[in-house]
Structure 1
Amino acid sequence: MCTLKRPVFTEFGTRSYPDPCKKLFSRFLSQLIPGDMTDNAIGNVFTLSDELYCVSETCYLWRVDPETLKTADKVNLEKLISINLASAHPHVDPDGTSYNLGCSFHKGLRYHIVKIPPQPPIKEEEANGPRAFLKASVITSISSSWKTCFSYYHSFAITENYLVLLEQPHLVNTLKLAVSVVKGHALIDCMDWTPKEKTKFYVIEKFTGKVKKTTYKAEAFFVFHHVNAYEEDDQIVMDLIAYEDPSFLQKYSLEKLRAGIFDESCPPQLRRFVLPVGKQILKVLLNEGVWLRHNKWKQRCEIQYSLSLPVSLGLEMPTINYKMYNGRQYRYIYGTGAFAKGYYENAVCKYDLKTHEHKIWREGENMYPGELTFVPNPDAKEEDDGILLCVAVDIRPDFPSLMVVLDAKTFTEIGRAEVSPDITVRYSVHSHFIKNQN
């Protein structure tokens, strides 16, 4: 029996080590072919049909019992739908149909849009393994713009009729990935930032899988999280959290965190893009501080209208009233400053897209609030009628961490649940609310 006591899977910032239990040939082969991927489900938590899943950004998902939080099944998307990597942020339509973004690299580097129809609920005693992906299918595929690289992605955008895939020039280099174990590299070491390349927007018709011929491009930027997108006057309005480049990822190295080094460079910024999808060319008032380009010579539109919304830098992990307004025109964004310095330091925020008003909740410099989760009022008639749940970690040894409950309309605290200081609460990246079925 072998006991490694060291990482056996390569993570985003941590390298793995060869498995001494494998024979020499198997060890060599596994170093050249990145087939053994991590199943570390730190990426997100979400529900598909009536099943709860924890995910990373690989092909592996864990189905979890929502009552006990015990792991039930390990799902391999590569075996089910030939997907090697999958986004940690699928979207769910009002009818229960889910969509996700994936990619494959064994037969050419391609991005895939996956459609997952809802499954009817069954009795617990009739359950026999995960069912959510039984009828999942790839509705369209798009080749990578690079022969040996593909764009890193964490999320994508959805509207009532379209899906938008953003191909950013932060690239996963498969040649570096293939020899990563041999050279002692983590995933972040296998990525290339190519700022001279454009960021591309692919628009896909949701119900046909058809990719629009129109090409949309922007100057290079990096993105983790899309906020929301919607259709208005034959155009897609898309809001996201953008970075000038991915250099901010280096802030999270263990060495810097232990040394307390966390500067204000490369902060996140709320940015809006407008993509024309109808027959009419979008007319933009240039005095709004935006720009418009139309390339007539190629007989195709390369039009992109972008602006930085008037919100302070530093807002991340955006939340909306997802159930009622995802893919639809909306007004309110909720977010957290996470570990950022500046205006949102140690705070969470409500931002009004119409009035540009900010509302802040902050406990103190020792408290770090995570992502906000919006829970709508079942009888809500207004967008911000509901509550927000937030786990806030207190870094002082003898002080309790909290789950804070905020009124989504007034953004004032209406309750909290304290956790005993004897229990360690980790900082939460993403969260998910499940309604009690009893």
Structure 2
Amino acid sequence: MSDATDRAYELGFGTVDTEYADRRLPVEGTVPSWLSGALIRNGPGRFEFGGERATHWFDGLAMLRRYGFDDGTVSYTNRFLRTGAYAAADAGHGATEFATGDGSLRRTLRWLRSLGPPEPTDNATVHVARLGEHFVALTEAPRRIAFDPVTLETRGEFRWHDDIGEHLATAHLTVDPNREETIGYSTEFGLSPSYHVYRIPHGHAARRHVATVPAAGPGYVHDCSVTESYVVIVETPLRIALAKALAPWNEGLLDVLEYDETATSRFIVVDRDAETLAGTVETSPFFTFHHVNAYDDGDELVVDLVAFDDDEIVRALTFESLSAGAFAAAPDGRFVRFRFQPDEGGVRRSRRYDGGLELPTVPASVRGRRYRYAYAQATDRTGANGLVKLDVERGTATEWWERGVYVEEPRMVRRPGGTAEDDGVVIAPALDTGRERSMLLVFDAETLVEQARAPLPHAVPFGFHGRYFPDT
């Protein structure tokens, strides 16, 4: 690995020891005075448990980060979620998460004492959402942790009181500002595995069942798309082996995932108004974590994804692989567009950008609708991660890179009163390996010209996802 890549691995997957509260950051450049609100992000902050290190990036202890904006200033708060997983880690015990086991004997004893599988983890480390007046941290286990959106203090577990079954939950609740609701789904095991789709109206915290559709496998499904008419779940050949999942000696979710090269990928389409399955369409196999966007185009659906040839990316994110060079050599996701009719066979696919990318976002106003611009982390250069703006109509891209800087997930924030789709700013945290600290970057959303950077007092481990809340 190069020096920059070595430092990125050490700093980006290192443990944070200090929590800051409302720390005013120095600003190099100018943050627009209209930018008012907070970017709240989630991700791992600690990887050591009782003298042992986690084995996978996904298994760090959840730490929230808040970047507050007010009249050109930037403030920073970071705080670990105070959960059962946090208490166990503080006591020197690890937790079985995505890939890191805590010892098969202890798990077997817990299984026997509880007469069933152990309780799923409350280490909600993947994403955040607003449900009514509640701000919650999310993971793929069916447990959600409420927190204060200003101080990030943990408020306790958020629970739904309904009969929607879930053995796995989505951490990607999809907010549709046009229909003023949030869409989610869960996976339920059993003799007939199923996906349950639900909706949460804006301003409310309770969810309502939309439809239940059969699962094949079931598959490991990380994200979904919405259009004005449909919810789209993409089920890839990365299957959850249920017999392994129920065994007390498995070492986490990674241990029970199996990629079936002979299987197809399926688009499962749910009609949002009729609340029924509109159809399933199969295509040649691929893997995806994240959706870019989707929209209705006449009688066809357009679904844009970050697609991989297979599940190699999942295995490449173990620390064993990352430390051995996979950090620089991990496979790149590609922007792929799929077109199909929801109730007929036949899928057309095309690549809209040849570079590697991940963690995509589109302006909120065009989510689920025909759109022109998408923003993402650019991943295909050694010694840096960049930022890319895609013009999906013209098939062109604008990129920003800086040697030794690793940009994380971007978020586009529209300027109040702006009419153009790209009128606003793009904000993204980044790790500066040269200065050995993280920073918050602000770009003009039209040109990707850097407007400001605000260095943090420390290096923050690479996180996963976040949302911008204009009214916190």
Q: Same fold (TM over 0.5)?
A: yes
5+ residue gaps, structure 2:
1-86
Separation in 2, partners of 1:144, 1:352: 34
Conserved? CA contact 2:328–2:382, under 8 Å:
no
Report the equivalent of 2:345. Answer: 302
The answer to whether the Cα contact below 8 Å between 1:312 and 1:343 also exists between their aligned partners in 2 is: no
Aligned 1:251-262 pairs, distance under 5 A:
251-262=316-327
The alignment partner of 1:202 has SS state of: strand
In 2: Cα distance, 1:403 partner to 1:417 partner = 5
Q: CA deviation at 1:185?
A: 2.4
- C-alpha displacement at 1:259, in angstroms? 3.7
Q: How much does 1:82 deviate?
A: 2.8
C-alpha contact 1:245 1:266 (8 A) present in aligned 2: no
TM-score normalised over the length of structure 2: 0.76
Determine whether 1:62 maps to 2:103.
Answer: no
Shift of 1:260: 4.0
Determine if contact 2:437/2:460 at 8 Å carries over to the other structure.
no
SS of residue paired to 2:321: helix
Q: Does 1:407 align with 2:472?
A: no
Structure with higher Rg: it is 1
Report 1 or 2 for greater relative contact order, CA contacts < 8 Å, sequence distance ≥ 6.
2
Output aligned runs, 1:318-337, within 5 Å.
Answer: 318-322=360-364, 324-337=365-378
Matches within 5 A, 1:245-256: 245-256=310-321
Q: Which moved more, 1:260-269 or 1:88-97?
A: 260-269
Structure-2 change in CA distance of 1:19 and 1:60 (3 Å)? farther
Q: Determine which of 269, 280, 287 is the counterpart of 2:334.
A: 269
Among residues 353, 358, 371, which one is paired with 2:409 in the alignment?
371
Tell me how far apart the structure 2 counterparts of residues 27 and 225 of structure 1 sit (CA, whole Å): 33
Aligned residues: 384
Match of 1:351 in 2: 390
Q: CA, structure 1 residues 344+261, in 2 after alignment: closer, same or farther (shift >3 Å)?
A: closer
Give the aligned residue type for 1:144.
A
Indicate which of 51, 60, 83 corresponds to 2:166. Answer: 83
The reply on whether 1:427 has 2:470 as its aligned counterpart is: no
Shift of 1:433: 1.1
Question: Aligned with 1:432: secondary structure?
Answer: strand
Q: Distance in 2 between matches of 1:394 and 1:343?
A: 14
Name the residue aligned to 1:5.
Answer: 92
CA distance 1:362–1:241, change in 2 (3 Å)? same
Q: Does 1:144 align with 2:144?
A: no
Give, in whole Å, the separation in 2 of the partners of 1:78 and 1:222: 33
Kindly provide the CA deviation profile for residues 367-422 of structure 1, in whole angstroms up to 9, marking residues without a partner as x.
211000111111111100010111001234x54321000000011111111112xx
**1:223 and 1:44 mapped to 2: Cα distance?**
17
More strand by share: 2
Cα distance in 1 for residues equivalent to 2:270 and 2:231: 5
Conserved in 2, the CA contact under 8 Å of 1:59 and 1:78? no
Alpha-carbon displacement from aligned partner over 1:61-86 (angstroms, at most 9, x marks no partner)? 11111111111121245866332221
CA deviations on 1:300-320 (whole Å, 9 max, x unpaired) are 7312111122x1231110011
Post-superposition Cα deviations, 1:86-123, rounded to whole Å, max 9, x if no partner, equal 11111223343211011112564111001212336xxx
**Counterpart Cα distance in 2 of 1:228 and 1:43:** 20
Q: Give the whole-Å Cα distance in 2 for the aligned partners of 1:35 and 1:108.
A: 22
Structure 1 residue aligned with 2:235: 167
Provide the residue aligned with 2:260 in structure 1.
Answer: 194
Partner of 1:291: none
Query: What is residue 39 of structure 2 aligned with on the other side?
Result: none
Among 99, 108, 118, the residue aligned to 2:183: 99
Equivalents in 2 of 1:266, 1:372: separation in Å?
20
Q: Distance in 1 between matches of 2:272 and 2:150?
A: 34
AA matched with 1:5: G
Who is 1:296 aligned against? none
SS at match of 2:245: helix
State the alpha-carbon separation in 2 of the partners of residues 169 and 274 from structure 1: 20
Match of 2:117 in 1: 34
RMSD over aligned CA atoms reads: 2.5
* % identical equivalent positions: 27
TM-score normalised per structure 1: 0.81
Q: Where does residue 400 of structure 2 map in the other structure?
A: 361
